[in-house]
Structure formats: C-alpha cells, structure tokens
Structure 1
Amino acid sequence: MDFTLTDEQRLIVDTVRKFVTAELEPYEDEVERLDDIPAEIADRIRQKAIAAGLYAANMPEELGGGGLDATSMTLVERELGRAGYALQMLVARPSNILQACAGEQRERYLLPTVRGERHDCLAMTEPGAGSDVRSMTTRAEPDGDGYVINGTKHFISHADAADFVILFAATGVDETAQDSGGRRRNPITAFLVDIDTPGLTVTRGSSSVSHRGYHQCELSFTDCRVPAAQRLGEEGRGFDLMGEWLGASRLSVAATSVGRARRVLELATGWAAERSQFGQTIGRFQGVSFQLADMATELEAAELLTMRAAWRHDQGVMTDQDAAMAKLFASEALGRITDRAVQIFGGMGLMAELPIERFWRDARVERIWDGTSEIQRHIISRSLLRPLGS
C-alpha cells in the first residue's frame, strides 16, 4: 500500500483545512456559549461549503455530489474533524443510505439533500435498544396502502435541524429467525418520514457535555401514517441498509477522531515549547516530552489504521473488522491524547478560556456513538473466532 497523496488529494486536504480554519473555527466559542448555531451563521457556512465544492462530497458525481473515493473522503473527514460536530456537519455528508432511493424518492429526498435544500437525520437508537438494534420496539404496521408507525427513538443527532427522518422500524415477525439469546429477530424496514408528518413529534433531548450545539433529540411516533411509497428499499431488508451505513459511519468517526487528535497535539506541543517552569520550557522535562512522544505515536497508528480501512474500502475488500478496528483505536487514542493534553496544560487545561477542556469533553462520546468500544471489540473478536467454529 502506498499512502502517498496524489496532487488532487493534497489539494483536497489544503482546501478543507483552509475552510475549517477560516469558516468554522472562528465560531467555536460562540457555539460553545450558546449551545446552538444561529441560523444566519449556519446558512452562511452551508452556502460557502456549496460554493467551495465541499458539500455532499461523499455522494456520486452523477447525483450532483463530489464523487470522492473512500480514501479522499477520509481525508476530508479528517480535516473537518479539527472542528466540533455542530460546525463540521454544516459541510454536509448526506447518509449514503439515501442512494437506495428509487423513483419519486430521488426527486423528493435524495437529490434535494445532495443540493443542500433538504437535510436528513437517521433514527435507529431507542431507549431500550442502543447497540442491540434487533430489540427495537418501534413498529410499522401495514395498513391499507401504507404503514402506521408507533414508538420512540432517542439520541437522534441533528433531528431538530432535519427536514426528514431515515427511520428504522420493526415490521412483522419472523418466527424462524432467532438471535444468540433465543429471541425472535423481527424484520426491520427503513422509511423516509417528513418531519411535519402528523403523529411525529420531535423534542430536544438533555444537554450533553460533548459537542455542544450538535443536539440529540427524541422522536415520538403516535399513529404516524406513512405511504408505502416512502418505504426505503424492500420490506424487511432495513438491516442490510443499516449495515452499509454503519461501516461508512465508523470510518467517519475514526477519521474525525484523527483530525481532532492532531489539532490537540499541535496545541499541546506549542504549549510545551512556550510554557516555562523552573527556568526552562516544560517540554524539556521528560515527564512532558515523553507524553508528547506517546501522543504522536498513537496518532500515527490511528491514522494508519484509518487510512488502511479506507484504502481497503476503495479496493472493495473492507470488512466490518477493518472499520471496527479503525473506529475503536482512533476514538480511544483521541481520548488518551486529549487527557494527556489536559495534563500538559495543567490547571489551564480545565479552563473554558482555552479549547483543551472542550476537546477533552468532546472526545468522550466518540467511544459510544456509532457503536461502543465494546461493540467494536465484539465485532473484531467474532471475526477471529467465527472461522474456528467458536
């Protein structure tokens, strides 16, 4: 594998880095203070991202997207990761699940989302079904020429800014399929549900310490009727669509973790080179310099795992294990790197006037969403044991 960037990829990295520095970082303190992004700022950033050709870079060119391959897209995600999610998600990367849209769905949902006219959110997690998605209780019951949906989803990121929901709900009962615990594995189906559909209520969830301004919401469905034309893909095949999304999503978390870790390392290194104690800069003390060395080593390892997974994705051979390893190591490395940075900054590392405490808080969620570290370890270990019949 040769990870030397092409001229085009170097241009992509340079363009995104400059955009993040000029258009996203200046608003970080305001977003942190407000726990929100003023509408006029959000609109301005989106329009500038569209003008710069950065919007929907993950979608195929024939759909109006950037058409980037997985390796180039991972570089984009890495650079956007230097900013918090509230701001970087304005440079939208629509869910690749939308490529399953067919017929009228393309004009109503897919293409307007690629153009930046509509915005999606994805609803999978429930109060009683986080990583255990097969236990979801939100149901879509066939009724005439449509479905009636009842249930609750929570921790749905960005739902308060979305125009429609990509919803996963149980449909029917499969009496023959069981999980390892002996429970029936109910078929899951995906739907496209407009936010203003009667019977759907969106409320802001509790405030989170991570990524202020990027809100998580609760979605309540009460006799919410959706036409069959808004079913995404075949009935009962939603789990397959979900699996396609999770691999790309985990690679995205790994890449953004790498980007944020590099920014933290730069800040910690600069502080160690300037901060003086006992007549010399603190970077000269082994207790600090060795921490910087460990941070840099872990960062390089995380980036290599992430780029390897992206490269394998482009070769058509990326496995669930590849994405899980990248997400697991990069997210946990980010946690260790931000923690060491707080230690290097000392008391100032915990003060709100510097961004270090924010990066420290933001890092915590990366080990939870899009599959916890425990789930990633389960995926990796099963890939090792399953071929041996264990």
Structure 2
Amino acid sequence: MDFALSDEQQMIVDTVRRFVENELYPHEALVEKLDEVPDELARQVRAKAIAAGLYAANMPEALGGAGLDNVSMALMERELGRASFALQMLVARPSNILQACSAAQAQVYLLPAIRGERHDCLAMTEPDAGSDVRSMQTRAVRDGEHYVISGTKHFISHADSADFIILFAATGVEETPRGSKKLITAFLVDKDTPGLEVRRGPACVSHRGYHQCELFFDQCRVPSAQRLGEEDKGFALMGDWLGASRLTVAATSVGRARRVLEMSTEWAATRQQFGQPIGQFQGTGFKLADMATELEAAELLTLQAAWKLDHGRMTDQDAAMAKLFASEALARITDHAVQIFGGMGLMSELPVERFWRDARVERIWDGTSEIQRHIIARSLLRPHGA
C-alpha cells in the first residue's frame, strides 16, 4: 500500500495551489462583499486557468481536456476547495454527463464546454422533489420531433451564468415494489429557448457569489435531437454523475478544512493570553488535535474512494462514506475554528466566519447526510436480504 504521490500528482498539487493562492485568494473579499463575481474578473480567471492547463481537467485528452485520473482530480479539487467557491468554480470542470453526448451534440455542447466557450449547469432538484428525485413533477411530453417541457426546478447552481442546462424531466411512469416511480430522461436545453425563464433564487448564507436559481418551463419545446442518451434512461446517467460529484464535495471539504486548520494553528500559536500562546492551553490544543485527526481521516476516505473509482471498484457506499465524513468533519473543524478565534471568529474582518457559513451547505447538496447514511446502511444490510 503506497500513499506517496507520484511526481505528476505532486506537480498538479503544486500548480493548483499556486494558482489558487495567486489568482483566487486576492479576489475573495471582493466577491464576498458584492455577492457577485464581476464579468471581467470571471473572464480573466477562466483565461488564466485555460492558459495554465487547469480547465476541463476531468475531460479526456482526446476531447481537449487534461485527462486526469480520479485520484489526480480529487487532489485538484482538494486544492481548489481552499478558495471561495464562486472563484474556484471558474476553473471549470464540465459535467461528466456531457460525455454521453452524441457526435452531433458534442459539437454544440461538449467540445465548446471543454474549450471554455460555453458553460453548463445541471437541473434536477424541484420544490417537492429533493432527495426523492424520482418523484419530480417536471414533465417532457413527446410531440413529433420535439419534447414539450413544463415544470419548475429550484436550487440550480450557477444557472444565471450558464449557457445551457442539463435537464432531467419525467417522461413516463413505471411500477416498482415500492409503488409508482417516474421514468427520467435527460435533455440539453439552451438557456434562450422560448418557454424557459431563469430567475435568481433567494439569497443563500453559503458561498456568496455562487448563486442558486429557479427555472420555469412553460410549454418549452426542445428538439428530440437534444435528448441526452436514451428516453427513460436518465436516472442511470444521474447515478453515474452523483458518484463523481460526491467525491468532489468530499475533496473540496478536505481542502477547505486544511486551510481552516492552518489558520487556526497559526492563530493559536501567536495569540497570547495569560502570558502564553492559547494553543498551549489544553482546551485549545485538544481542539487542534481533533481537527487534524478528522482531517487526515477525511482525506484518506476521499482518496481511497477515488483510487477505487480509477480501478473500477468504487461502490455507492464508498462515495457516500467519503462525502458524509468529509462534509461533517468540515462542519466540526470550522466550528472549532470559530471557538479558537473567539469573538474575532464571528467578525467579517477575518474569513473564519465565511468558512463556517460556507461549510453548512456541504451536508445538504449532492445528497444530504441522511441520504448518505441511508446508502451506507442499505449497502450493509443488502447482503443479508434486509
């Protein structure tokens, strides 16, 4: 069992770390203040990411991406996760689902996304269908060479800055032992399609500058040529994407937790009370010890799952464990950090309160902690017939 990084992986870590520190950190305060990434800044960051070879690193080399394996991608996501989410997402990793594009679709959607010319978002969640995605109400009805789509999506990340939407909609119903379930189909929908309206959603406490939106489809006609994959087979595509996205959340959580631990350690080593650094008091030192231990465990779970994915061995349980533990460890680590910083930990003058706020969403999106526990428990019970 070799835990050492290869020379190439270490180079990736060093390159991404420098990019994050030099190109992203300096703009975090501005984005936090504005709750926006100015358009010109977004263009500059994307251009620099492309020039540095960091853009679309998750896509195959044959398509113009960097073709990184899953462990290398987890390392990259870990380093990007140290920065403000609104900024690090400008170093785009187009959705893996786009690799299901047909040859014709690839020319319009996949390849432009890899080149940084177009940007995607994914629309799955609805007001009454969050974790239970197969209860979604948005419908796509076949009408000749088109599908007519009606319904509402919400909590759709960065739809305001996307050019097209990877949409999941119900196209039928099947009977299962647990009752009727929707059959799901995926579509590629251009944002300027008549009958589609995109609105900014309510303000969110986490990740300022990275907005969630609401999508309204009113008899929106989408050509059948823009169906992604087979009709009624979108749930399988969705499942493929969720595993990779849960690893991304885990790796991002690890990176952010590492930055928080570094800041907390420096503060505890330099902040003086009662004539000595506060880190020498057991109440503070034990917090740092717990933070460091949880961080190492979260990183090992995440990299192990990524390694298994590279070897075709990752299960839903592996991804769920990594996402569950890393996101919850981040919550505990950021909470400890606020306590270590004391009153200053809650002041906007320092980024600690931002890390604390931002950490909250990681236990909700891409599958709540409760869903991850359900996946893990089901995996344990299934071999016993339960």
Alpha-carbon distance in 2 for matches of 1:2, 1:112:
38
Aligned residue in 2 for 1:169: 169
Aligned residue in 2 for 1:270: 266
User: Are residues 1:307 and 2:303 paired?
Assistant: yes
Aligned residue in 1 for 2:18: 18
User: Are residues 1:121 and 2:117 paired?
Assistant: no
Q: In structure 2, what residue type is equivalent to 1:75? A: L
Q: CA deviation at 1:85?
A: 1.3
User: Are residues 1:217 and 2:189 paired?
Assistant: no
State the superposition RMSD in angstroms. 0.6
Q: How does 1:348-367 map to 2 (within 5 A)?
A: 348-367=344-363
Contact preservation (8 Å) 1:179, 1:185: no
Aligned residue in 2 for 1:138: 138
Contact preservation (8 Å) 1:170, 1:186: yes
Q: 1:175-195 CA distances to partner (integer Å, 9 max, x unpaired)?
A: xx2263x2x112100000000
User: Are residues 1:83 and 2:80 paired?
Assistant: no
Alpha-carbon distance in 1 for matches of 2:84, 2:45:
14
Alpha-carbon distance in 1 for matches of 2:353, 2:303:
28
Alpha-carbon distance in 2 for matches of 1:19, 1:196:
34
Aligned residue in 1 for 2:153: 153
Gaps of 5+ in 1: none
Q: 2:176 aligns with which of 172, 175, 178?
A: 178
Aligned residue in 2 for 1:261: 257
User: Are residues 1:187 and 2:183 paired?
Assistant: yes
Alpha-carbon distance in 2 for matches of 1:261, 1:153:
31
Q: In structure 1, what residue type is equivalent to 2:198? A: V
Aligned residue in 1 for 2:317: 321
Q: In structure 1, what residue type is equivalent to 2:333? A: I
Indicate the SS of the match to 1:128: coil
Q: 1:287-329 CA distances to partner (integer Å, 9 max, x unpaired)?
A: 0001000000000000000000000001111000000000000
Alpha-carbon distance in 2 for matches of 1:191, 1:125:
15
Q: 1:138-175 CA distances to partner (integer Å, 9 max, x unpaired)?
A: 0000001110000000000000000000000000222x
Q: 1:373 aligns with which of 369, 375, 379?
A: 369
Question: Could you tell me the TM-score, scaled by structure 1's length?
Answer: 0.98
Question: Could you tell me the TM-score, scaled by structure 2's length?
Answer: 0.99
Indicate the SS of the match to 1:219: strand
Gaps of 5+ in 2: none
Alpha-carbon distance in 2 for matches of 1:98, 1:35:
29
Q: 2:232 aligns with which of 229, 236, 254?
A: 236
Contact preservation (8 Å) 1:202, 1:217: yes
Q: CA deviation at 1:44?
A: 0.0
Alpha-carbon distance in 2 for matches of 1:269, 1:173:
55
Aligned residue in 1 for 2:3: 3
Alpha-carbon distance in 1 for matches of 2:131, 2:84:
24
Q: CA deviation at 1:60?
A: 0.4
Q: Which runs of 4+ in 1 moved over 4 A?
A: none
Q: 1:93-132 CA distances to partner (integer Å, 9 max, x unpaired)?
A: 0000000000210100000000000000000000000000
Q: CA deviation at 1:387?
A: 1.0
Contact preservation (8 Å) 1:312, 1:318: yes
Structure 1 residues 245 and 179: alpha-carbon distance in aligned structure 2, compared to 1, 3 A threshold: farther
Contact preservation (8 Å) 1:205, 1:216: yes
Q: In structure 2, what residue type is equivalent to 1:224? A: C
Aligned residue in 2 for 1:201: 197
Aligned residues: 386
